[in-house]
A and B are shown apart, each in its own frame.
Chain A
Amino acid sequence: MAVGEITLVHKFDDHNLSERSLITAVHTLDHNTLMFGSFPSGIHLVDVRQPRGIVHRGQLPKAPSAAQATPLCIASQSHRGDEFLVCGRFPSVLLYDIRKGFGACRSVYSGATSLSCLTMGSRDRVIAGGSYKGTKFTSVSANRRPGNH
């Protein structure tokens, strides 16, 4: 039960589109910055100090055969205020730097069909969980340096 003052931050108003956006992941980057992901493949940056809320938005990269790249989890490290990680219904963990926008990102391929959650295991290690060809697995540990698994 939530007790307090409720404020609307954002509402998708896309009734006419064939694919309606749905919020799938939310992450607070710092006390002024909020990230959230949306179906089918949206990523959004919110500055809570701004009246309009969303200040930048983008689309996660999709494979040509994939209908969606829905983000399911966003995570970051406290000492890296400009970077965040995204995983979801795609096989890679994506690393974004907000200073460079959402047009480019680095990625670590996990081999999984879909990743539903991730967390920072240590300073340079990510732990993600998801499914691999229908089999659930609990963790995949990946060094954050690109190319390492």
Chain B
Amino acid sequence: MWRKFPTEWKEVGEIRGLGGRESFRLSQTNSNGLSAAHATAQLGYNNAMSVGPGFLYFGAGRILEQVVRAPLLTRRERLT
């Protein structure tokens, strides 16, 4: 498995099987603002994702989820 770092590409791990696991971070909005969450999901299929205007569906393992993009804050909302 290869990852691009600021100065070079590095191999960060061997691919031991098609049904591997990979961690990724999700940021979710709540009443207090953005909060980070760390999730681990089973990935292995390239086409288990569908993107649309303002949303995406992705399947990981046995779970299918929808992510709806948070509305963009206006400049005034960001300043207050």
Contacts and interface: CB of A to CB of B under 8 A. Distances in A.
Interface in B15-33: 19, 24-29
Contacts, number: 107
Interface residues on B, range: 20 to 34
A144 B58 CA distance: 28
Contacts of A3: 26-29, 34, 69-70
Contacts of A8: 63-65
Given A1-B25, A25-B48, A72-B47, A9 B64 contact: yes
B47 A28 contact: no
A26 B57 contact: yes
A14 B48 CA distance: 19
Contacts of B13: none
B27 A12 contact: no
DSSP majority for the B interface?
strand
A28 B51 CA distance: 8
Of B60, B64, B70, most buried by chain A (CB within 10 Å of CB) is: B64
Contacts of B59: 23-26, 36
A31 interface: yes
A140 interface: no
Interface string A71-107: 0111000000000000000000000000000000000
21 contacts: A1-B25, A1-B27, A3-B26, A3-B29, A3-B69, A5-B67, A6-B28, A7-B65, A7-B67, A10-B64, A14-B62, A20-B62, A22-B61, A23-B59, A25-B47, A26-B50, A28-B50, A36-B64, A46-B64, A72-B46, A74-B47
